[in-house]
Each structure stands twice: as structure tokens, then as C-alpha cells.
């Protein structure tokens, strides 16, 4: 684990007008000017990517998108390509978030195509996987998550361009988290299916109170943070808990 530097990433989702987003980005950048032990990333909504990028300039905080289209350009109203994210200053893109898999009907094949697009554009793909409550209760969590990895991660993956985020659907935005043993079990199962050195983040109701315990678990290489990433103090408290 020592060779995998932890990554603490904020997924702002569909939150933030220009003023709030800039204040948040400046708050994170100011705190990150002090020495820190992990890599840091924020993924604002598309409308704020360019402005947040300017606010983060000179800081160690990286910039990411929350989704991309598989094509580089074309007649796809409302979509954004990986190349556009890269052009706007992004180095990362979140793909296959449960709010897209379950909310927008994205399949493993869709995510697979988007990961190829991200790599084509030179972006690091953060591929999200996670079981629903019903799948966990049916004892299928490991099978679901490893199946999503098999279907979503293209051949040719390596640790320099891939990050996995384990986000149980039922833990997102609910205040619920798996037991530490359950997180360890799933991360170990994922580890067996991805290239050596690839970071595996945990996401789902991470907050300043539970971050230290979760981030200290074996095979947990950081966190993907939703609600708590919208307050600079909370996001920084989680980053400070990184190993
Ligand atoms: P919460 O931290 O709000 O539960 O969201 C997690 C998440 O979906 C990050 O991508």
C-alpha cells in the first residue's frame, strides 16, 4: 500500500453557482498550499470547470469532469467530450457513477466506451462501481462489483490512467456506510481484477468523522467525496485524515 499515494477527490455533482463554486475552489486551494499527504482532485459541474481551473492554478489540486461522451466531437446535443474536458484543464474524469448507471441507464458497455475516450484524450478515468441494497442483501455484492469491473474496464488499463471508486449505491448520500470488513472484502476482490498499483477509492457518506477509520483500511487508497466536498473545511478535514 505504501507505494500507492492516496487520492481524495471531491465530486461536486450538480451543485454550485459561479460564486459558490469559486469560493469553494479558492478555499480548497488555500488549504492545499500547506503540506499534505495525499493527492487532491475536485470535479465541479461542467459550467464551472474553466473558472475553477483558474482558481486552482498554481495549487496542487487537480481538476476533473463528472462524465464524458465517447466520441471526440459531433452532433451530440448536451454532451461533452473527453477532449473538451482536457482542453478545459481537466486531468481526470469520473465515469460510471451510480447516478449515471442507475439514474441514466448507463451500461457497462457505455462506461467501457467512455473509458477508452478518456484515455484517448489523455485523461485518467475514475471508474465507479457498486452494488445496490438489494444486491447486497442477496449476497451478490462481490459478484456485482467484479462484474462491473470486467465489463467497464478496457484492456490495456494501467495504474497511471485508471482509478477505481467503490461506491455502494445505498451508501451514497444516505449517511450509511458498509462495515469496515465489508469495505475490506470488496476492495480486496476488486484488487484481484485490476492492474497492480491501481488506486481503489471508497465513496459513499464519507465525512470528517468517519474518514480516518475508512482511509486507514487495507486496500483503501483514498476517497471519492460527495456532499462533504461542498464545504472546504470538511473536504480538507477528510484530506487531512489521508494516510
Ligand atoms: P456522498 O459523499 O454525498 O455520499 O456521495 C458520494 C458520491 O457519490 C461521490 O461520487
CATH of the domain at 22: 3.20.20.70
* Residue 6 contacts residue 238 (beta carbons within 8 Å): no
Residue 150 lies in a domain: yes
Q: Is the CB of 173 under 6 A from ligand 1?
A: yes
* Residue 8 contacts residue 240 (beta carbons within 8 Å): no
Whole-number Å distance, alpha carbon 238 to ligand 1 midpoint, is 13
pLDDT (0 to 100) of residue 69: 98
pLDDT digits (tens, 9 = 90+) for 151-201: 999 999 999 999 999 999 999 999 999 999 999 999 999 999 999 999 999
pLDDT digits (tens, 9 = 90+) for 75-124: 999 999 999 999 999 999 999 999 999 999 999 999 999 999 999 999 99
Residue 74 lies in a domain: no
Residue 149 lies in a domain: yes
Please check the confidence at residue 1 and state whether its pLDDT lies above 70: no
Residue 135 CB coordination number (10 Å): 18
Q: Is the CB of 130 under 6 A from ligand 1?
A: no
Based on the residue annotation, tell me whether 193 is a catalytic residue of this protein: no
- Total of domains in the chain: 1
DSSP 32-78: HTS--SSEEEEE--GGGHHHHHHHHTTSSEEEEES--BSSSSSS-TT
Looking at 92, 97, 112, 187, which residue is catalytic? 97
Residue 32 lies in a domain: yes
Residue 89 lies in a domain: yes
Choose one of 227, 231, 237 to mutate for the ligand 1 pocket test, by most ligand atoms within 8 angstroms of C-beta: 227
Residue 1 lies in a domain: no
Residue 206 lies in a domain: yes
Please report, for residues 108, 142, 143, 206, the alpha-carbon distance to residue 138 in angstroms, rounded to integers and kept in the order given: 21, 11, 11, 24
pTM for the predicted model, two decimal places: 0.98
Based on the residue annotation, tell me whether 36 is a catalytic residue of this protein: no
Q: Domain range spanning residue 54?
A: 7-67+79-240
pLDDT (0 to 100) of residue 195: 97
Residue 90 to residue 66: CA distance in whole angstroms: 10
Instruction: Share the mean pLDDT of the chain.
Output: 96
Choose one of 204, 208, 222 to mutate for the ligand 1 pocket test, by most ligand atoms within 8 angstroms of C-beta: 204
Residue 229 lies in a domain: yes
Report the share of the chain in percent with pLDDT over 70. 99
Amino acid at each position: 500500500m505504501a507505494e500507492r499515494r492516496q487520492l481524495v477527490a471531491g465530486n461536486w455533482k450538480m451543485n454550485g453557482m459561479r460564486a459558490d463554486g469559486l469560493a469553494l475552489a479558492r478555499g480548497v486551494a488555500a488549504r492545499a498550499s500547506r503540506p499534505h499527504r495525499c493527492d487532491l482532485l475536485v470535479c465541479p459541474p461542467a459550467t464551472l470547470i474553466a473558472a475553477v481551473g483558474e482558481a486552482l492554478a498554481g495549487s496542487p489540486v487537480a481538476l476533473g469532469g463528472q462524465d464524458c461522451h465517447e466520441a471526440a466531437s459531433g452532433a451530440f446535443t448536451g454532451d461533452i467530450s473527453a477532449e473538451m474536458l482536457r482542453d478545459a484543464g481537466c486531468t481526470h474524469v469520473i465515469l460510471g457513477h451510480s447516478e449515471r448507471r442507475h439514474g441514466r441507464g448507463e451500461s457497462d458497455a457505455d462506461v467501457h466506451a467512455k473509458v477508452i475516450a478518456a484515455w484517448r484524450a489523455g485523461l485518467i478515468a475514475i471508474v465507479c462501481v457498486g452494488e445496490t441494497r438489494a444486491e447486497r442483501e442477496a449476497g451478490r455484492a462481490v459478484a456485482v462489483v467484479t462484474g462491473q469491473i470486467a465489463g467497464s474496464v478496457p484492456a490495456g488499463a494501467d495504474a497511471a490512467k485508471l482509478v477505481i471508486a467503490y461506491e455502494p449505491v445505498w451508501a451514497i448520500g444516505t449517511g450509511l456506510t458498509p462495515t469496515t470488513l465489508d469495505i475490506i472484502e470488496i476492495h480486496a476482490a476488486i484488487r484481484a481484477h485490476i492492474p497492480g498499483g491501481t488506486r481503489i477509492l471508497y465513496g459513499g457518506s464519507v465525512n470528517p468523522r468517519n474518514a480516518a477509520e475508512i482511509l486507514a483500511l487495507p486496500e483503501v487508497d483514498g476517497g471519492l467525496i460527495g456532499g462533504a466536498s461542498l464545504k472546504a473545511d470538511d473536504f480538507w478535514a477528510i484530506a487531512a485524515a489521508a494516510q
